[in-house]
Amino acid sequence: MLIPKKDRTKIFTYLFKEGVLVARKDVFHKHPIIPVKNLYVIKLMQSLESRSYVKHSYNWGYNYYYLTNTGIDFLRATLYLPESIVPATLTVRKRAPLAGEGERERRPFQRREGAEGEQRGGRGVRREGYYKSGEGAPAGRGRGPRPSAPVTAQ
């Protein structure tokens, strides 16, 4: 398929800048991010995939294209870019420190224990006054309270 050079350049520039490209499986509309036809994007990525410059995956009506190392070299040569410029997927951003981070010292995790070695606040511990007076814990899911005396057959 013949794709105009200006549209091809827009697609290549976006792909190199981001490192990934998403295209909906819809050939009749424009691409939502790049101002070109979506058909051009899909067919150009199909061509790059056949030359193993991008990896392709498809999920729920969307095509995902990931730039490979050989694809980076190809786009660098095509767009006349220097070696110092790399796609956004290869750049490492430094994480900004969170508020209060670095002020406190880190201590190893220690388990808190209550009376007789039971874990406080856990599922197995019954707290006083948790159930209504005179009722015990329910017997199971939605079965209601346990009977107070065992039922015997007569």
Q: What is residue 5's predicted lDDT score, i.e. its pLDDT?
A: 96
Position 15 scores a pLDDT of: 96
Asked if the structure places residue 37 within a domain, the reply is yes
CATH code assigned at 64: 1.10.10.10
Tell me the C-alpha distance between 38 and 27, whole Å.
Answer: 5
Number of structural domains (the chain) is: 1
Under a CB-based contact definition with an 8 Å cutoff, are residues 53 and 70 in contact? yes
Asked whether residue 122 is domain-assigned, the answer is: no
CB atoms near residue 75 (< 10 Å): 20
Domain that holds residue 34: 5-79
Task: Give the chain's residues under pLDDT 50.
Answer: 117
Task: Give a yes or no: residue 38 inside a domain.
Answer: yes
Per-residue pLDDT tens over the stretch 27-59: 999 999 999 999 999 999 999 999 999 999 999
Does a structural domain hold residue 125?
no
Query: Is position 111 within any domain?
Result: no
pLDDT for the residue numbered 121: 53
Residue 52 lies in a domain: yes
